[in-house]
Amino acid sequence: MTAKKTTKPKTTKAKTDKLGRKNLAEQICANVEPDIKAQAVTLANAVLAMQDKIEAEIPDFKSQPLSQAVTVGTGETVLRENPAVKEFRAIVRDYAQALKNLDEILANQKTQPTASAVDDLRNRFKVG
């Protein structure tokens, strides 16, 4: 007699993280109007993915030199910006812009949750 073995589907960490990000993105956009909710959830998911990527690359970024010595065709050595550092800065710039766009979408909604005490303090000491 052979016992039938049931196996659970294997879920990779990346797949679990994607599902967690999607659920979190949907929670963030819970109060968004239905006509723009799909775009807001997509943007929130992208912001969370970029945040994960930035957090993962911070140790590498800190260990990279800001510039590299490159020898040009004439034989002289010139300092140029490190391409890895340039890419990291571009990711951070894109993340900041996407986060700003998401914040604007969420701020323009009719039904907003009540502000927390921390948000109240931030708004009180906001410059500009």
**Tokens (6 digits) for 72:** 């040009």
Distance CA 111, CA 40 (A): 15
**pLDDT single digits (tens) 112-127:** 455 565 666 666 656 5
pLDDT < 70: residue spans in the chain: 1-16, 110-128
Q: For position 10, what pLDDT does the model report?
A: 44
pTM of the predicted model as reported, rounded to 2 decimal places: 0.63
A 10 A CB-CB count for 48 gives 20
**70: Cβ contacts below 8 Å, ≥ 6 apart:** 77, 78, 79, 80
